Amino acid sequence: MKEPTPITDLIGKTHMGRRSAREAEDAYTDLYDYYLNRARALAAQQMGPMLKARRTPTSIAHEALTSCLENAATAPARIASRKEFEMYLCAHVNRKVANAAAHEQAQKRDIKKETPTDETPRAESSVASPVDKAVASELAIQTVRCLFEEPDEPRRAIVVLGLLLEYSPGEIREMIRPLVTEDENGELPLGYSQSSIRQILKKRKAILGKQLSKNAQADE
């Protein structure tokens, strides 16, 4: 697949006259066509069967992608490069799926309240089983490969996996091991040691947490 239009062709051109507006519109269409399948693949991997019965991965991907493109066009300070756009899109799709799943669970709880039953509900464990974590790890690796043409770039893979699963730095190192090669000292290439990975994840988690809190307040 050909390279997409540079994200800079879209950023900031929306309000710069008719010619720039036309260029921005062309860039919007090209970027939408390029990223829709990637966003749809990510949504499909994150959605459970019950959610898929009510929502399609395409609809969630469309909502997330159009929102990200509009933000890139109107708020250039937030998204200044292709890498930042891809990470933003990944987190946005994941949040859309999480919100849809939460809405689905709320509806199920409402139905249970309205339907009397003699069965005692079983308590669900909040701790993921080793099998669940293994499946999630494999899905995350597939997601990175699906979304990005350069999955061996350590920082991008680490940040994306951190956004997706909120795993510890050590667990993430194991998950991305098939995607990167360590040097003889056991450190990731390009100077990404375990401490630097921890700092990257800490910063990104803080940013994501603030954004999710704002979104949750806006939805209330």
Q: Are 64 and 92 in contact (CB under 8 A)?
A: yes
Residue with the bigger pLDDT between 111 and 189: it is 111
CA pair distance 220, 214, nearest whole angstrom: 10
Q: State the Rg of the chain over Cα.
A: 20
Residue with the bigger pLDDT between 190 and 64: it is 64
Q: Are 84 and 8 in contact (CB under 8 A)?
A: no
Residues 83, 84, 85, 87: what is their CA dihedral angle, to the nearest 10 degrees?
90
Is the sign of the CA dihedral 120, 125, 126, 131 positive or negative?
A: negative
DSSP 3-state of 128: coil
Mean pLDDT confidence for 5-11: 61
Q: What is the mean pLDDT of the chain?
A: 63
Specify the pTM. 0.47
Mean pLDDT confidence for 193-201: 57
**Model confidence at 98: pLDDT above 70:** yes
* 197 band by pLDDT with thresholds 50, 70 and 90: low
Mean pLDDT confidence for 196-214: 58
- β-strand partners of 192: 188
pLDDT digits over 165-180, tens only? 555 556 655 555 544 4
